[in-house]
Structure 1
């Protein structure tokens, strides 16, 4: 018996796996200019505007939720491997939790619309430490060559439950090529 090996394929990367970041109903719709991590009313209870997860680079499926205030705690893992998931104006987004410029937690940041003459072109986040802002879709900074890592997000029906609930699924954006 011979085993054929295709030299043009790479094995699946463990760090590229999707992980479930919870039910969509657990994410309040952030539609104001307050701090993202601030508590907001959602389904008759107050919840933080975002959730933070530590996602090991070796295996994304082992993601664990981190308390927003404990982001620098050694038990929360390396802050560079943390992702912040939130819903802004009805769209689910996921970006690195740490500002690439100043290593500050972006859960303290404020979201905003990027507009030109009243037309909304995109959305951004303002890091309050040095007032740098980043586009939430491209990751580009408003100055310098810093780039915020943007993660892929999907909403899928919860197959485990009754199929009525939707869940947010997140993974690292794949490099092309």
Structure 2
């Protein structure tokens, strides 16, 4: 038969699926399924479809919006305080910019005081003292018809200082 006799043209012999071809195709198929599942999980993690919780837009009723310079409204689902400054409304992320502790409102002193390392913030979230390097972060605020307010907890803005333009004008 010789050396060349081992090779056949496609016309002389029908192509049959070999065990090696089957194993290769099965491995490629299984790898494709695993990669598709990992890709779907990756997209789900970075593209969440949340409603009514942190990372989504939340509605604060007109009745819950604080009066100017009154005690802040605290939203536990959205992790923010809504304050009504002389310039308008600010929604401040309640996470301390120093190490991420939750910063409570202290009604006796009318300040936000971090319990972890003592950073102190005024009513508009501006750092007064402590190790925090800057003011509290703010979230996007939109005033809706009827006086309700939408706070987008997925749109957090890091700010260097308080400026009146950061507050959204509000009249009830």
Q: TM > 0.5 between the two?
A: no
TM-score (norm 1): 0.42
Structure number having the greater helix percentage: 2
**Larger relative contact order (CA 8 Å, sep ≥ 6):** 1
Structure number having the greater strand percentage: 1
